[in-house]
Structure 1
Amino acid sequence: MDKRRVPEHRLKKEERDAKYAATAKEAADKAAKERTEKQKAYLERAEKYFTEYKKHDQEIIDAKRNAKNEGSIFVEPEAKVALVVRTKGIMKMKPTSKKILQLIRLRQINNAVFLKINKATLNMLKRCSPLVTLGYPSRKTISDLVYKRGFGKVNGQRIPLTDNEIIEKELGQYGIICIEDIIHEIATCGPHFKEVNRFLWPFKLSSRRGGTEKKNKPYQQGGCWGNRESKINEFVKNML
């Protein structure tokens, strides 16, 4: 068609559409490039943490072997993080215990949270010990909880951690941009443990398969509540 016969408004529309299409393509290409770079950064961080964990585990093994050869005893460093699971409901609960459970965000039975181990938290847990069970989670347990039951608090809403962009938007100011950063910060009790733990919504676990132990007795006597130490990993695995 002769260009001179095309109405002027149609030419303007085609020119505008072409400009919009070029802008949209440029934005899409830029977004795709950024996603590729971020995916590369996520992979590099995961590999870095894997190497760090492997080195740390080997150092523990070597220290145990050296201690055995020298006839001494190697004592592993004390745990810095506890995993606390609520095991009882609201029946016959003291007001003080109820307030403590609210403070540590255990508002429902079978909820679980991470806590930094210090004098204050130990005293709080001691006051409500018949209502919770706790222990020292392994890296695998932390990873399983975050990947399988992980939700974040975004604008007061419970949002599933399906995209690293959610994490970067909320925690990017602390250098935490992906789910592996969250796992590493919790496992090592890093400098931004408080911010990461506050971002994580309390984990909602399922009821134990096969039933639970007697809830009115401590773990040391065959019951449910109390400190399970490393046995908390088996306890939580049954509830995922």
Structure 2
Amino acid sequence: MDGEQSGLSALPHVSETVLKRRKTLREVKEARTKARNAQRSFRSGTKQEKFKYPETFVRAERHKQKDEIRLHRGKTRQRKSIKVPEGQKLAFVIRIRGASGMEQSVRKVLQHLRLHKSYTGCFIKLSKQSLELLRVVEPYVTWGYPDLKITRDLVMKRGHAMVDGRRMALSDNAFIEKQLGEAGIICMEDLIHEIFAVGRRFRSASQFLWPFKLTAPKEGFRRITKPFREKGDTGNRGEAINALLRQMI
């Protein structure tokens, strides 16, 4: 009993004023937390529209007119003028511009290529048909010929699978064999080889991969409104795509 009394007497004395202040601060903190949570739930439940200046609509309309003129001129060209580069079968396409003022047919091609957002990319098989599509979306994408190392780095570091519309990690070879075993692809190396060599099962392999999510290049772009051949960024950049992808992986 004496020990208990000595222990209680050893406790520091806290005045009633300090206790009231602590209680008040605790109540204020709880009220602020509730208000913050309520504000977050309100913002997530309501879609806030950003104010747009008139210049934004004018700029978008100009982009749309440029697309319409460019596509009209492209239709007048002979299809035979499109030639697949000799010795090249594979291309990697990156979307580098947004959708402001985009013409409807351009939007459809980007959706067909599964390039729904900026800084997403995908592998495509080079053919006259695919080159026609790339010509349609040229002001919004850049593309080129990836080498084996970049192809492997893309699949290993940024690769994800698309299974039933869901994005899933390429966890192990067993997972790949389960999804692509019928196509003769049973491991990561098989998948990389089928993509790079553009084999008979290329379509299955490329559709199996979720569009690659990349980061903005460390050195930035020069001019995304100009073609690469005019010291810009859009269009075909050949093997220079590998240097760009090293910055974006």
TM-score, normalized by the shorter chain, greater than 0.5: yes
Q: How many equivalent pairs are there?
A: 165
**2:165 aligns with one of 147, 156, 168:** 156
- For 1:172, the equivalent position in structure 2 comes to 181
User: After the TM superposition, which residues 38-187 of structure 1 pair with which residues of structure 2 at under 5 Å, given as runs?
Assistant: 78-187=87-196
Query: After superposition, what is the alpha-carbon deviation per residue over 1:82-141, rounded to whole angstroms, capped at 9, x for unaligned?
Result: 100001011111111000000010001010000000011000110110000000000001
- For 1:14, the equivalent position in structure 2 comes to none
Q: Is 1:234 paired with 2:243? A: yes
Query: What is the aligned-residue identity percentage?
Result: 42
TM-score normalised by L of structure 2: 0.65
User: After the TM superposition, which residues 216-231 of structure 1 pair with which residues of structure 2 at under 5 Å, given as runs?
Assistant: 216-231=225-240
- For 2:197, the equivalent position in structure 1 comes to 188
C-alpha distance in 2, partners of 1:156/1:116? Answer: 22
Give the SS at the match of 1:123.
helix
Give the SS at the match of 2:133.
helix
Query: After superposition, what is the alpha-carbon deviation per residue over 1:185-239, rounded to whole angstroms, capped at 9, x for unaligned?
Result: 0111000000000000000000111221101111111111010110000011110
C-alpha distance in 2, partners of 1:189/1:210? Answer: 31
- For 1:63, the equivalent position in structure 2 comes to none
Give the SS at the match of 1:85.
strand
C-alpha distance in 2, partners of 1:132/1:184? Answer: 25
Q: Is 1:201 paired with 2:210? A: yes
User: After the TM superposition, which residues 13-52 of structure 1 pair with which residues of structure 2 at under 5 Å, given as runs?
Assistant: none
Give the SS at the match of 1:90.
coil
User: Which of the pair has more CA radius of gyration?
Assistant: 2
1:121 is matched by which residue type in structure 2? Answer: S
Give the SS at the match of 1:172.
helix
2:207 is matched by which residue type in structure 1? Answer: R
C-alpha distance in 2, partners of 1:89/1:197? Answer: 24
- For 1:69, the equivalent position in structure 2 comes to none
Query: After superposition, what is the alpha-carbon deviation per residue over 1:2-24, rounded to whole angstroms, capped at 9, x for unaligned?
Result: xxxxxxxxxxxxxxxxxxxxxxx
Give the SS at the match of 1:141.
helix
C-alpha distance in 1, partners of 2:164/2:132? Answer: 31
Following superposition, the deviation at residue 164 of structure 1 comes to 1.1
Query: After superposition, what is the alpha-carbon deviation per residue over 1:60-82, rounded to whole angstroms, capped at 9, x for unaligned?
Result: xxxxxxxxxxxxxxxx9511011
Give the SS at the match of 1:83.
strand
- For 1:64, the equivalent position in structure 2 comes to none
Give the SS at the match of 1:146.
helix
The change in CA–CA distance for 1:165 and 1:128 in structure 2 (over 3 A counts) is same
Q: Gaps spanning 5+ residues in structure 2: where?
A: 1-84
C-alpha distance in 1, partners of 2:189/2:222? Answer: 34
